[in-house]
Amino acid sequence: MEPIIRPFTNSDYRAVLKIMKAAVPEIPISEKQLREHYENLHSIIKCRRWTVIFDGNIIAYGLYDQSSQPYNPLEFDIYGAVHPNHQFKGIGSALYDHIMDALIQFNPCLVRAYAIENKSQSIEFLRARGFQEAQQVQQESLLFLDIASLDPRSHAEGEGNLQGQGITIKTLKELQVEPNFTYKLYSLYDELIQQTPSSQPLKQKSYDEFVKELRRTDLLPEAYNIALHEGNYIGMNALYTQPEPKQLFNEFTGVKQDYRGMGIATALKRRGIAYAKAHGYSTIITRNNLRNDRIVQLNKQLGFLAMIQFVKVFQ
């Protein structure tokens, strides 16, 4: 019996989600997220999806679509995932060929694909088909930290030296009872945003917008850590829950310029990682602007894995 490639149907979501989670567990995604993404595509976006059937079961999933920001009618993204039980049998190659054959009609000038940096087989698969790493053209990188594989002791230490210098770390939950708390935290955030290296100016928030953010239901007051020195707020690291119950999003990390190089950002992030481990979370997701070298290097040291963009250019 040979595998059959057929068009995706709306009844395939659950089976496809199982394949995606089995093939790339580092990227947790919910069925709701998957449905909402493809049910709300802009009308200009070209998109087709397929599944591979073997012995009555869906064993692989692939697609092409496009980015709307910015939109180029001749640029495409492709994606493919094969269940681990069926890898190395030519299924991924057949699915890739099927997707690329379907793209010929559009005469594409560029096709993008992505792989997590620890997936050497995926990276070699793309390189063997003419894709080249294009990380240098990315403004931002998506990163993932697998909490389950971490030793909790490795992220529960590191604050002793800071305490010796009069620096402490407290949670938003602990500090929000203090007078002028929201104004002090907003002043810190506003200063840090202006100091954060970025390829594009970061959007600043008004005080009212910031206070509204603090009331978000996905914010974790006990995992929103703030560094203090002599009563002044000097650094912060904010974790939020995600639609998937076992993942967190590290939305922002920053330390005042005069306090950098002391290990404060490392201690703040380790606090968040230790919290995630202790409370049964599986993944922390974050984004890095690639111009922010300090935080890029810090996240690598802590074990975050980057999503690498590959491109294939057509003449």
**Does the pLDDT value for residue 151 go beyond 70?**
no
pLDDT tens for each residue of 168-192: 999 999 999 998 999 999 999 999 9
Which burial class, exposed, middle or buried, applies to 34 when counting CB atoms under 10 A from its CB (0-12, 13-18, 19+)? Answer: middle
List Cβ neighbours of 267 (8 Å cut-off, separation of 6 or more). 158, 159, 162, 169, 227
Contact 250, 284 (CB under 8 A): yes
β-sheet bridge partners, residue 286:
143, 250
Whether 91 and 161 share a structural domain: no
pLDDT score of 135: 53
Whether residues 285 and 169 share a domain: the answer is: yes
Task: Establish if 124 belongs to a structural domain.
Answer: no
Count structural domains, the chain: 2
Q: Is the dihedral of CA 111, 117, 122, 123 positive or negative?
A: positive
Q: What is the pLDDT of residues 67-119, one digit of tens each?
A: 987 899 999 999 999 999 999 999 999 999 999 999 999 999 999 999 998 88
Report the mean per-residue pLDDT for the chain: 89
More confident residue, 68 or 240: 240
Bridge partners for 233 per DSSP: 228
Among the residue ranges 127-131, 234-238, 276-280, 285-289, the one predicted with the least confidence is 285-289
- 263 pLDDT exceeds 70? yes
pLDDT at site 138: 52
**Is residue 94 located within the same domain as residue 210?**
no
Based on the fold, state whether residues 194 and 274 are members of the same structural domain: yes
Residue 93, domain CATH: 3.40.630.30
Query: Could you tell me what percent of the chain has a pLDDT over 70?
Result: 93
| Two structure tokens written together for 125 | 């698969």
What pLDDT is stored for residue 147 in this prediction?
A: 86
At residue 157 the predicted structure's pLDDT band, cuts being 50, 70 and 90, is low
- Least confident interval from 32-36, 200-204, 245-249: 200-204
Residues 173 and 296 in one domain: yes
Rounding to the nearest 10 degrees, give the CA dihedral for residues 201, 242, 185, 193. Answer: -10
45 φ, ψ (degrees, to nearest 5): -75, 125
pLDDT of 198 over the 70 cut: no
- Cβ atoms of 58 and 51 closer than 8 Å: yes
Scan for tokens 């005469």, then name that residue: 107
Domain of residue 160: give its range.
152-306
The pLDDT of residue 236 is 96
- The single residue listed with the structure tokens 């030519």 is 90
Query: Has residue 43 been placed in a domain?
Result: yes
